[in-house]
Structure 1
Amino acid sequence: MARFSKVLRKTDIKKRLSVPTGFLSSLPSFNGGGHSVDFQAVDGSDRVWTFRCSIRKKGHPKPVISKGWLAFADSKNLRVGDKVQFSREKNEAGAKRHAYEIRDEKEIKIFGVKDYNRYSGTITNKRVSHRLGGGQSVSNTSNQHHHQQNQKVCHHRRAGKCNRF
C-alpha cells in the first residue's frame, strides 16, 4: 500500500496540495507524456472526490493536487496544522471500487499537547470532545467543561467546582 501524509500549510489550504514525488508512482500513469492525471479517492464518509495531480513540464516534477482539492479542504474545514493522508490499496479481486482513500485529521491541543483526531470525538467551532476510558468524554469550551457518563451531564465553570477528575 502506497501512502503519504502531510501537515497542512497555508499554501496547501489556499491554493493547492504539494505531493511528495515518491507518491507519483502510485498514481495512474500520465498518459502519452501528459502533465496531469485525474483520479478518484473516497473519504471516511464514503464520499468520492475527483482530484487532478499535475507535474511541471520541465525539470523537477514538483507534483501538486489542484482540481478538487480546494473543495475537499473547504468541505472538511481544514486549517493550517491539520493533517491529510492519501493511501492506495492494492487492487485485488473483490477490492473496493476506489483504489485511493483520503483521510483528514484535525489538529487539537489537549492540555497544550498537539494531537490529531480522526473524529473519534466531536469537533465543532469552539468545542473539542475527546473520548476517555470508562465511557466518559470531556468537552472543553471557552469557559466550561462537561462530563458524560451513563447519559447524565453536569455543567460546571472552570473555577474548580468539579471534583470528578
Structure 2
Amino acid sequence: MALFVKILTKIDVERTLSLPDGCLQALPEYRGSHVGHGKELQVKDDVGILWNFRCMIRAGVVRKLDIVSGWIQFVRFKQLNSGDGFVLYRDDDTLTGARYMIEVFRSYESSSFVHQNTYLA
C-alpha cells in the first residue's frame, strides 16, 4: 500500500529529508515517539537494496519526521535532484511485520506518476 508521494526540494537532496505532514499517522512505529528521539527505518529500494535511515521527530506546532542519516547516501546513489520524487510503500506481513519499500521517479516523470497514483494512498 502506498503511504505517500514526496517531490524532493533542494534541501531534501542537499541536507535532510523532511517527510510530508501526516506521515506520522502512516508510520505507526513513530506515533508514540518523543521529539528528538531517533529510530531506524529500513527501506528496500526498487532494485532490492536495503537502506537504513535514521529518523527523528522535529519539534514544532506540527510534529514532523525527518530522516537525518542514511538519506544523503541514498540521494547520491540514486542521483536524485530537486523535482524528482519518491513513493513510500508499506507491506504488512503476518510473520515478519511491516516492510517498507521506496520507489523513485525523475522530475520529467513526476506529473504523470503522481497523477496516476493519486488514489493509492
Query: Distance in 2 between the 1:63 and 1:29 partners?
Result: 9
Q: How far did residue 106 of structure 1 move?
A: 1.4
Q: How far did residue 98 of structure 1 move?
A: 6.5
Structure 1 residues 101 and 19 mapped into 2: Cα distance closer, same or farther (>3 Å)? same
The number of aligned residues is 110
Structure 1 position 6 matched with structure 2 position 1 = no
Query: Distance in 2 between the 1:90 and 1:39 partners?
Result: 15
2:45/2:103 contact within 8 Å kept: yes
Q: How far did residue 45 of structure 1 move?
A: 1.0
Q: How far did residue 83 of structure 1 move?
A: 1.0
Alignment match, 1:33 = 34
Consecutive unaligned residues in structure 2, runs of 5 or more: 114-121
Aligned residue identity for 1:78: L
| RMSD between aligned residues | 2.5
TM-score normalised by the chain length of structure 2: 0.75
SS in 1 for 2:93: coil
Structure 1 residues 27 and 71 mapped into 2: Cα distance closer, same or farther (>3 Å)? farther
Aligned residue identity for 1:17: L
Where do 1:1-165 residues align within 5 Å? 1=1, 3-25=3-25, 26-29=27-30, 33=34, 35-57=37-59, 59-93=61-95, 99-108=99-108, 115=112
SS in 2 for 1:11: helix
Structure 1 residues 115 and 2 mapped into 2: Cα distance closer, same or farther (>3 Å)? closer
Structure 1 residues 7 and 14 mapped into 2: Cα distance closer, same or farther (>3 Å)? same
Instruction: Identify, as 1 or 2, the structure richer in helix.
Output: 2
Q: How far did residue 105 of structure 1 move?
A: 0.6
Q: Which has the larger radius of gyration?
A: 1
Query: Distance in 2 between the 1:36 and 1:60 partners?
Result: 17
Query: Distance in 1 between the 2:2 and 2:105 partners?
Result: 18
Structure 1 residues 107 and 56 mapped into 2: Cα distance closer, same or farther (>3 Å)? closer
Extract structure 1 runs of 4+ deviating beyond 6 A.
Answer: none
TM-score normalised by the chain length of structure 1: 0.57
Structure 1 residues 17 and 47 mapped into 2: Cα distance closer, same or farther (>3 Å)? same
2:6/2:20 contact within 8 Å kept: no
Query: Distance in 1 between the 2:93 and 2:30 partners?
Result: 15
